[in-house]
A and B are shown apart, each in its own frame.
Chain A
Amino acid sequence: MDAGGTTERMADYLRDHRDKVVDRWSELVIAGVRGRTSFEEVRRELRDLYSLVVRVLSESDDHAVGELRAALDELSRSRARDGFTPTETALGVFSLKDAVYELVADTAELAPEFLVFSRMIDDLGLRTFESYSAAREQIITDQSTAMMELSTPVVRLWDGIIAVPLVGTLDSARTQLVMEKLLDTLVATGANHAVIDITGVATVDTEVAQHLLKTVSAARLLGAECTISGIRPQVAQTIVSLGIEFGDIATKATLADALALALRQAGLKVVQALEPLFCDIAGFSNCRS
């Protein structure tokens, strides 16, 4: 008995029992995914996959193999995006074996055919798993890139005064990015003063402090003065107990204090108007008129 004939017979068998197998397969899959997709949708997806499996078995041409792989990759990717676990995703393929086995269990003469079929499904299952992990890796990379981009805004507070509000955890990669962006903005805007606000930074350890000090000295080399603001009480305690010295770098409790300092150094003064100013902007309803 040659392998070609075996797969050919298996393909014929699967083609004959198509609806029965697909229905049973869909039932097994839907039981595993616990109502996150509809039966009809699963059935449609699996019917396409099933046709491809049959085509691969009957023709064994590269074209069908490629199509089946692409379909599997696509399915695994969408499963990964929808938050399915690896097991659930792989079981989606492996349960085809169960569905077919239930049918051929009684007919002993199909044993060699089922063995070939089973090997093929195992390969497909492994492939599913691989593309699932690749998709997850991709998602993680995309998210960290997005986070990097979102996490380093440099805002202009006043003429010649810029601020960097830092939120989250500071690691070397992020601090490097913050430093570069801050320095680039200083050069681009010609600002003399920068405020680094760390209100959103939960913990400051020696490494983070080191990074902050480096950023401040780099800004000084460009000719800009830096103030660190928004040090929280717990952070202040940590800094002192770790013995970190900020030296001659100005630190302020709030961003407002830092802005006030920057304005003072720029020779600007904020004064209270003697009378409330009248707004002449039409439609500006918050103003008293």
Chain B
Amino acid sequence: MERVPIIKIGQTLFVSIQIDLQDDTVMRLQEDLADELSATGAHGVIIDITAVEIVDSFIGRMLTMIGSISRLFDAETVIVGMRPAVAITLTELGLSLSGVRTALNAEKGLEILNGKT
């Protein structure tokens, strides 16, 4: 099973998803992220999904869950780099990713976490 690496930069955990998401990959990511948040006490999570072309309702829901889990560790989650096609799919599925913030790119995501906007 492929694993998504989690990189800690300062007080932020950075996750860049470069593979096609499978259900078990996302579940593993969720577990890893929870472990990492608890171990490091990071205050923000940036999930970059620029390379993700296909999402389904399960993955959409898991992203929301990751957001909720992060909030329990007092960390804010920002999903960055979503493709228009992915956004349309999620909207058609009726998922608005509540509780998760979104940004156009990683830079803007960092600005959100740093409280600039």
Contacts and interface: CB of A to CB of B under 8 A. Distances in A.
A222 B104 contact: yes
Interface residues of A, number: 19
B20 to A, nearest CB: 19
A194 B108 CA distance: 16
A220 B84 CA distance: 11
A183 B86 CA distance: 10
B105 interface: yes
A1 interface: no
Contacts, number: 57
A217 interface: yes
- The majority secondary structure among interface residues of chain B is mixed
Interface residues of B, number: 22
Q: Give the residue among B80, B84, B92, B104 with the most A Cβ atoms within 10 A.
A: B84
A186 interface: yes
A223 B91 contact: no
B101 interface: yes
- The majority secondary structure among interface residues of chain A is helix
A188 to B, nearest CB: 10
A121 interface: no
Q: Give the residue among B80, B87, B108 with the most A Cβ atoms within 10 A.
A: B87
B54 to A, nearest CB: 15
Given A190-B104, A223-B102, A214 B84 contact: no
18 contacts: A183-B84, A186-B84, A187-B84, A190-B108, A218-B84, A218-B87, A218-B88, A218-B90, A218-B91, A220-B102, A221-B91, A221-B97, A221-B102, A222-B84, A222-B102, A222-B104, A223-B102, A267-B117
Interface of B: 78-80, 82-84, 86-88, 90-92, 96-97, 101-105, 108-109, 117
